[in-house]
Structure 1
């Protein structure tokens, strides 16, 4: 019962925290649109944000970490569902938390250094070019490949598995499971935005779908959390 209550609280609190941090980054740093700007401009804007922006990025990364215990707690709370299915779901959820954390943690630790280095008085054009390559390489590898591609794919997979588990559970209404399956499939689809032929410019459909899918996913988490708490109370 304690695990179910903790899971319900996290299901509600985590999407609220994630979206609050994302909204704050959008307001103060013009994220994610700022990433389309030249590296020097991005780093200048980051530097102007000071320690407050660095801390905000750290908080955003920590919301990804919290997804790991959430996945484990949810697996232990869905009474009546297949245990093997829940175990696989929990594993995928923890992996989703890990890759999203790895994708975000460069911002409070690597990017501040790059922002300072490019602004040093003795920074030569050659050094600035190296910084540009490092910044863009980490964006493509940790940001796009690890954080977004694997993050969306694993988060979508977790949502699908949890959705299936909910449809057989005695705690949460089955219709929420169906919603989870649909939203999870949408997130998994979004993970292919920069795969294959779309590597250079991105898949426009997936790009438009991603924010919608994440809003729907957040609402689904909150609704599931409320339903779980109500189910435990009954």
Structure 2
């Protein structure tokens, strides 16, 4: 299988896998709305999900890893583009995959332990308070800062770089490149949701744009994959 065909398959498979896992988490775990609830309630709901929920989070985290080989193979498929631009896109794409994976991987490995510890019959109020601090700290650090802020920032930057490279070559129609630049710019904007003065409660505009931007980004990936195949 050539690099172009493999890139096309990944471009179609990644958004399908990511959005499918996200949809199942939303239906079974009320994600991401559940994150607004008290820690004890979140951990109780997680514990009731059992090993099936843990495996679902593990699979969801692994979908983020797919962006790394996708970025490499897409760059190899865009003949005629500036090599420096392609190299920058590969670097940023791999970073995007890495930070999104780090943001999600706490769920199948750290959260199960916290959920078990919170349910221990002899757990004191001080221990449960410590569990709450650990959970919320990792949620803000790995979830908001690494997974969301850096994840949106690098994913948006990769989309801009990939889109710019598409406009220089002939592998896909130029309008797909322009679409990638546009949706990438919106994702970069969304990365500012909890930055600076918005840190305590979030920037409402970015919060409203994020789900829409990710749907459009997913459609852009699929359209690019189809264009590479034809």
TM-score bracket relative to the smaller structure: over 0.9
Moved beyond 2 Å, runs of 4+: none
Q: Counterparts of 1:86 and 1:31 in 2: how far apart (Å)?
A: 35
The CA deviation at 1:47 is: 0.3
Gaps of 5+ in 1: none
Give the 5 Å matches for 1:1-234.
2-230=2-230
Q: Deviations over 1:127-165 (max 9, x none)?
A: 000000000000000000000000000000000000000
Superposition TM-score, scaled by structure 1 size: 0.98
SS at match of 2:135: helix
Q: Deviations over 1:50-88 (max 9, x none)?
A: 000000000000000111001100110001111110010
SS at match of 2:126: helix
Superposed CA RMSD in Å reads 0.6
Q: Counterparts of 1:155 and 1:69 in 2: how far apart (Å)?
A: 14
SS at match of 1:181: helix
Q: Counterparts of 1:79 and 1:213 in 2: how far apart (Å)?
A: 28
SS at match of 1:76: helix
Q: Counterparts of 2:169 and 2:42 in 1: how far apart (Å)?
A: 47
SS at match of 1:31: coil
Q: Deviations over 1:89-122 (max 9, x none)?
A: 0000000000000000000000000000000001
The CA deviation at 1:9 is: 0.4
Q: Counterparts of 1:167 and 1:72 in 2: how far apart (Å)?
A: 18
SS at match of 2:60: helix
Q: Counterparts of 2:40 and 2:186 in 1: how far apart (Å)?
A: 34
SS at match of 2:119: coil
Q: Counterparts of 2:195 and 2:214 in 1: how far apart (Å)?
A: 19
The CA deviation at 1:36 is: 0.1
SS at match of 1:209: helix
Gaps of 5+ in 2: none
SS at match of 1:118: helix
Count of aligned positions: 230
SS at match of 2:96: helix
Q: Counterparts of 2:175 and 2:107 in 1: how far apart (Å)?
A: 38
